[in-house]
Amino acid sequence: MIASRASKIEDPVEKLRFLKTTEKRFSQIEDLLLSPHFWWLSNRKIWITVAFLLLIPTLSLLRRSPLPVIDASAVAGGKLSTVRPAPEVPLEKAYLIDNRGGVETWSNGLHIETRFTTSNRPREYYVWNRNAPQASLSRLPSQQAAGIVYHTTESTLEELEETQLRRLKLLGESLLQYVQKEKAYHYVIDRFGRVFRVVVESDAANHAGKSTWADEEWAYIGLNDSFLAISFETQTRPGDESPEITQAQVDSGRMLTRILRSRYAIRASNCVTHAQVSINPSNFQIGYHTDWAGNFPFEAMGLPDNYELPLASLFLFGFSYDGTFFAATGARMWKGVVSSEDLLRSRAGKDSISVAQLRTQLRNQYRRLSALLPESNEPAGTTDSRASNPRQENP
Ligand SMILES: [Zn+2]
């Protein structure tokens, strides 16, 4: 190699200088090898080299895009540590500054009306350590909500005009009475942007039905207990992927999300829509409920585009989807679905099995874990939107 490089140098002076320098380097190496400190030196060099080699990939990981990305290479040996969410930015603490006449005033300017507030059973939920596949379920401190699920009420709407004020108010009142009776959501945001607390935050609400989600640490089965519910008063029309909400609803949704995230240290990646978490275990299909299957204004809520996150139901528990799902959702959740499929293929490849075989294993995992859930934690049915008939949705 040295001769080959030397032969390419045409200038004879340069060629000689190259050969002399090379010879000198070899001589220094030879001296080093013969020195009594050789092993100490060489070991130190080895350690420095190893540390450096380890440092490079670590730094490159840290320097990558802050957007949620999929690290398919981590899907090995049963370890499903695949979702690397955006780094969490500490949220400014929001606190209650006044509470009178059935209205709470919060430090970020949000007013929460409490005249429809009701209780349900106290929150109590179990999680699965997804990095220890053989693990059982663990019970987490019951007061600590893990996430937020966004819903639409799918209730009857009236034109948002001043002349319709009486009917608008009537519809809003009857909706809130219904939600209160069904203990359906923790919060409802009406079309004027007014925020109503219905089920108290310390209790479960019947909002998610059969559902699942996962962050990088825990998998959640049945989100009625573990996740808080915020529902926007609106209706998804058939074939319409983007239910309309008013700017007032967006503003209130953002402030409420901020309050809840700061109170319970909720990760941004655990703020998701009902369509992302809904499942039907009887046929192992996703998207039984389809509210906010597309165009949920994540950014306006102060969140990253969580539609990019893979769906735990698909990549962790082997659920599937069919044309009905895409017909109902308009395929707006394709990013998460594609990410999930990539993860499945990658893991199946590493385990040298087919994707179908992997799905069977993951479904058995779901069956094993859901059978461990205590009966009290079994999700109560929700009357939320359904893929087979989205117009059926009443809260
Ligand atoms: Zn819903």
Q: What percent of the chain lies above the pLDDT cut of 90?
A: 49
Question: pLDDT tens digits for 158-175?
Answer: 777 777 778 788 888 889
Please give the distance, rounded to the nearest whole angstrom, from the Cα atom of residue 135 to the centre of ligand 1.
30
**H or E segment to which residue 272 belongs:** strand 271-273
Please give the distance, rounded to the nearest whole angstrom, from the Cα atom of residue 231 to the centre of ligand 1.
7
Question: pLDDT tens digits for 249-271?
Answer: 999 999 999 999 999 999 999 99
For the four alpha carbons of 350, 351, 357 and 361, in that order, the dihedral sign comes to negative
Please give the distance, rounded to the nearest whole angstrom, from the Cα atom of residue 9 to the centre of ligand 1.
74
Please give the distance, rounded to the nearest whole angstrom, from the Cα atom of residue 179 to the centre of ligand 1.
12
Give the C-alpha distances (Å, rounded to integers) separating 13 from 2, 6, 16, 64: 16, 11, 5, 47
The amino acid that residue 349 corresponds to is: G
Q: Residue 2's Cα: distance from chain center in Å?
A: 55
The rounded distance, in Å, linking the Cα atoms of 257 and 105 is 15
Burial 30-45 (b: 16+ CB within 10 A, else e): eeeeeeeeeeeeeeee
Please give the distance, rounded to the nearest whole angstrom, from the Cα atom of residue 384 to the centre of ligand 1.
5
Please give the distance, rounded to the nearest whole angstrom, from the Cα atom of residue 190 to the centre of ligand 1.
15
Please give the distance, rounded to the nearest whole angstrom, from the Cα atom of residue 252 to the centre of ligand 1.
18
Asked whether residue 211 carries a pLDDT value surpassing 90, the answer given is: yes
Please give the distance, rounded to the nearest whole angstrom, from the Cα atom of residue 64 to the centre of ligand 1.
34
Please give the distance, rounded to the nearest whole angstrom, from the Cα atom of residue 262 to the centre of ligand 1.
23
The rounded distance, in Å, linking the Cα atoms of 309 and 326 is 17
Average pLDDT over residues 192-211: 96
In degrees to the nearest 10, what's the CA dihedral of 84, 215, 259, 245? Answer: 90
Please give the distance, rounded to the nearest whole angstrom, from the Cα atom of residue 159 to the centre of ligand 1.
22
The rounded distance, in Å, linking the Cα atoms of 147 and 213 is 10
**H or E segment to which residue 51 belongs:** helix 38-62
Please give the distance, rounded to the nearest whole angstrom, from the Cα atom of residue 165 to the centre of ligand 1.
26
Fold of 68-392: Lysozyme-like (3.40.80)
Confidence of residue 32 (pLDDT cuts 50, 70, 90): very low
Please give the distance, rounded to the nearest whole angstrom, from the Cα atom of residue 378 to the centre of ligand 1.
17
Asked whether residue 73 carries a pLDDT value surpassing 60, the answer given is: no
pLDDT at 383: 53
Asked whether residue 375 carries a pLDDT value surpassing 50, the answer given is: yes
Nearest Cα to 296, choosing from 268, 264, 274?
274
Residue ranges per domain, the chain? 2-59, 68-392
Please give the distance, rounded to the nearest whole angstrom, from the Cα atom of residue 185 to the centre of ligand 1.
9
Question: pLDDT tens digits for 290-315?
Answer: 888 888 999 999 999 999 999 999 99
pTM, full prediction: 0.74
Q: Percent helix, strand and coil across the chain, each rounded to 5? A: 40, 15, 40
